Chains A and B, each alone.
Chain A
Amino acid sequence: MNRHSPKTAALLAYDADLLSPAGAARIARHLAGCEACRAELAAIRAYETLRREASAQRWREPDWAAMEARLRREAREVAGAVRRERAGARHALWGGFAAAAAVLALVTGGALWPAEAAPTERPDAAALAAAREGAPREARVMLVAGHATADERPLTLDATVREGALVATFPRSTVHLRLADGTGFLLGDETRVTLARSRERATQLTLEQGRVTSRVAPLDAGARYEVRAGDWVFTVRGTRFAVAHLAGGVVTLSVADGTVDVRDAEGTVTSVTGPGRWNSSPDTVAVHPSVLVAPVGLDAKARDWPALRVPRLEGLRGLEIDGLALPIAGTIAMRASPGTHRGVSFALSGAPTRFEFEVSPEGSSLDPTLAGAPEPDAAPSHGVLAPSAVRAVVARGMDGLQRCYRTALLRRPDLTGQMTLRAWVAPSGRVTRATLSATTPLPWLSTCVENQARRWSFPPPGGVESLALDVPLDFASD
């Protein structure tokens, strides 16, 4: 059996007729006996066809008008800042800036965050009572990755979430729910949603915090699907959209297709047509949620599919199954069609491992070694950093953070607030990722602070996974 690696350059030259007659004849003789080279040559030709088709491909034009409206605010802000700077305006630059470092408890069992971390408060009794009005409504859990609860009881695959229940997802977790009418919605991590149904035949999700992405099945006349977030109600009858309820009460909307009506507390309605975005705080450029739409299987056909279970994967950064990226902080359970599926796992270094696996009609469990997960013995626990070492590094990084804040004050002299900087420290001591716990009126400030934190270097904590730290920050000017 001929298993040698095809010589791509020679095949390209042969296909382009660049070889001498003798050289071309040699390649032709070789091709006659080499299946791998014939396959490669066919792929080379197929790619040329695909390349030509893709180059001539026409793309959808963005909604320029909507984009212009949003960019106008940004242009006004930047142009104003430039003019003020040129005019030599002086602002109170720096008052107090205090920061203290705190070490997050080390993760047990391999997850970055402790599984016991509970969501914050429950909804008040009045909200729950209101949610229970109207006819009963239920949703079925079609996917749960990590940890999620309904009324503080853990959610499992196929569990039923009844009307009025508060569904909460934990850090690095996600859950997908499906209504009887085929509508599906995906909750991002650290999200809190109450499912309800109003007297007016409207399915209602009350989004207290976090992100919910919905694909709404076409509804009967008179039926509606609503997401409530803060003072706003988002109403549709069939579309794909995502709503995020951010810290500070800012609510943002992304619409992939269809139209979403946004109703404020006074009853004023604004229509947002996809692709489009909306922001409850027009003076800021807020973070909009991505419209992540569940594949058809999760919404419509998956009800009777077998269960696929994925154990907690140690020593990996990420996992995709059939193109679906899933958090791996905990176990995963989902419905999957019987047959062959493809997966990609990502090592801590980012290197991908592609694999295939079978889901039997009776259900299957993914073999972690197939996904390239290190053997349990080869995956030691996380390393350790002494609090004094953390404080020393953070103290040295204060200058950079202060520069960020001083620059931000040039644009927003009234900018103050408290937030938490979360940093992931690799076994080498390098900060691989840093995020702020809340959005700021100036996204630039978040980027600046996060970039500064990524420059920090700690003593190597050891272990195989990143260590998470929380650093409380207090932005204040006198």
Chain B
Amino acid sequence: MDAPDPLIRSAQGGDEAAFHALFVRHRSDVTRTVQRVMGPSPDVDDVVQDVFIHVFRSLPTFRGDSKFTTWLYRLAVNVTRMHLRRGRSRPQIADVEVPEAPTADAPSDSPEARAECSERLAVLYRLLEGIGEKKRTVLVLHDLEGRPAKEIGELVGAPVLTVRTRLFYARKELYAAIAGEPRLKALLSELGPDVHGRPALGAAVPDGPAPAAAAKRPPGGER
């Protein structure tokens, strides 16, 4: 195990400045994780703040059995999931803000292309809301955050095999949702398989949701 971080020891000893230093060091990564799991939401700032409040309160009892960052991200994921679950049980009105389109990889994209991309991403996050919270968390951490299954298992407290199973079924549900999403019709037409003598796929996309394909069993591993 790694040697204890002096900063963590200082915080555990009651050094107020060490708490602040930990916040500054980890706030960006924690925020990214919260944003990925939550999707676009006006509550992200509140949840990030709650994560650090939990960190501060729990830090005195952190024993170092796991890496601090693993413990931290596990806490971030749990607080975010708690928030999402609370949201299910109280009156609320969805406020899906269109996220910003990526700019780093496509600096020459036209404003129209970026607007289309933003709209596609808004649709993606709306579809993700329809997936069960456990499966969605795994999918987001793996596919969007790029975390390996083993680490995700540590974050969500599940065996690697369970993580992979959830990932498979989450993707399966998402594929079905994407296939039936009228707002992605153009993208689906563009990417449909080229089959001789067959109509373009987009023409086959119904206006309503397609019947979800029932998966019988997960594959042996990840893509």
Chain A residue at minimal CB-CB distance from B217? A9
The answer to whether B172 touches A50 (Cβ under 8 A) is no
Compute how far the CA of A323 lies from the CA of B92 in the bound complex, rounded to whole angstroms.
Answer: 9
Contact pick for A40, options B53, B179, B208, B216, CB 8 Å? B179
> Which residues 340-358 of A sit at the B interface, judged by CB distance below 8 A?
340, 344, 346, 352, 354, 356
A294 at the interface (CB under 8 A from B): yes
A60 at the interface (CB under 8 A from B): yes
In the bound complex, residues from chain B placing their C-beta under 8 Å from that of A54 are: 121, 124, 144
Compute how far the CA of A47 lies from the CA of B174 in the bound complex, rounded to whole angstroms.
Answer: 8
Contact pick for A62, options B45, B117, B120, B192, CB 8 Å? B45
**Interface-centre pick from A32, A40, A277 (highest chain B CB count, 10 A):** A40
The answer to whether B92 touches A292 (Cβ under 8 A) is yes
Chain A residue at minimal CB-CB distance from B132? A352
Compute how far the CA of A46 lies from the CA of B202 in the bound complex, rounded to whole angstroms.
Answer: 12
In the bound complex, residues from chain B placing their C-beta under 8 Å from that of A288 are: 46
In the bound complex, residues from chain B placing their C-beta under 8 Å from that of A59 are: 31-32, 35, 99-100
B1 at the interface (CB under 8 A from A): no
Q: Which of A77-85, A98-106, A115-123, A152-160 contacts B (4 or more CB under 8 A)?
A: A77-85
Query: How far, in Å, is A178 (CB) from chain B's closest CB?
Result: 14
The answer to whether B94 touches A42 (Cβ under 8 A) is no
Compute how far the CA of A61 lies from the CA of B30 in the bound complex, rounded to whole angstroms.
Answer: 12
Contact pick for A78, options B31, B59, B143, B191, CB 8 Å? B59
> Which residues 139-191 of B sit at the A interface, judged by CB distance below 8 A?
143-144, 146, 168, 171-172, 174-176, 178-179, 184, 187-189, 191
On chain B, the number of residues with a Cβ less than 8 Å from chain A's Cβ atoms is 87
In the bound complex, residues from chain A placing their C-beta under 8 Å from that of B25 are: none
A476 at the interface (CB under 8 A from B): no
Contact pick for B93, options A6, A28, A254, A292, CB 8 Å? A292
Compute how far the CA of A62 lies from the CA of B28 in the bound complex, rounded to whole angstroms.
Answer: 9
The answer to whether B102 touches A86 (Cβ under 8 A) is no
The answer to whether A323 touches B191 (Cβ under 8 A) is no
On chain A, the number of residues with a Cβ less than 8 Å from chain B's Cβ atoms is 87
Query: How far, in Å, is A357 (CB) from chain B's closest CB?
Result: 11
In the bound complex, residues from chain B placing their C-beta under 8 Å from that of A277 are: 45-46
Contact pick for B57, options A36, A58, A78, A275, CB 8 Å? A78
The answer to whether A8 touches B213 (Cβ under 8 A) is yes
In the bound complex, residues from chain B placing their C-beta under 8 Å from that of A12 are: 219, 223
Query: How far, in Å, is B21 (CB) from chain A's closest CB?
Result: 10
Compute how far the CA of A277 lies from the CA of B187 in the bound complex, rounded to whole angstroms.
Answer: 40
> Which residues 84-102 of B sit at the A interface, judged by CB distance below 8 A?
87-96, 99-102
In the bound complex, residues from chain A placing their C-beta under 8 Å from that of B15 are: 79
Compute how far the CA of A473 lies from the CA of B17 in the bound complex, rounded to whole angstroms.
Answer: 37
In the bound complex, residues from chain B placing their C-beta under 8 Å from that of A75 are: 16, 19-20, 23, 56
Query: How far, in Å, is A298 (CB) from chain B's closest CB?
Result: 8
A477 at the interface (CB under 8 A from B): no
The answer to whether B104 touches A58 (Cβ under 8 A) is yes
Compute how far the CA of A41 lies from the CA of B195 in the bound complex, rounded to whole angstroms.
Answer: 12
The answer to whether A318 touches B89 (Cβ under 8 A) is yes
The answer to whether A42 touches B191 (Cβ under 8 A) is yes
The answer to whether A38 touches B193 (Cβ under 8 A) is yes
A71 at the interface (CB under 8 A from B): yes
In the bound complex, residues from chain B placing their C-beta under 8 Å from that of A9 are: 219
Chain A 39-73, CB within 8 Å of chain B: the 1/0 string? 11111111101110111111111111001101110
B72 at the interface (CB under 8 A from A): no
In the bound complex, residues from chain A placing their C-beta under 8 Å from that of B187 are: 46, 49-50
The answer to whether B198 touches A39 (Cβ under 8 A) is no
In the bound complex, residues from chain B placing their C-beta under 8 Å from that of A32 are: 195-198
> Which residues 157-196 of A sit at the B interface, judged by CB distance below 8 A?
172, 174, 186, 188-189
Contact pick for B53, options A71, A145, A318, CB 8 Å? A71
Can you list 6 A-B contacts with CB-CB less than 8 angstroms, sorted by A residue number?
A42-B189, A67-B48, A70-B49, A74-B56, A256-B42, A290-B42
- B residues bordering A, Cβ < 8 Å? 11-16, 19-20, 23, 27, 31-32, 35, 42-46, 48-49, 52-53, 56-57, 59-60, 87-96, 99-106, 117, 120-121, 124, 126, 129-130, 132, 143-144, 146, 168, 171-172, 174-176, 178-179, 184, 187-189, 191-193, 195-198, 201, 204-205, 208-211, 213-216, 219, 223
Beyond contacts A8-B168, A67-B45: 17 other A-B pairs, Cβ-Cβ < 8 A, are A3-B211, A28-B195, A42-B189, A42-B201, A45-B192, A49-B191, A53-B102, A56-B104, A59-B31, A64-B27, A74-B52, A78-B19, A240-B42, A290-B43, A290-B92, A292-B92, A444-B57
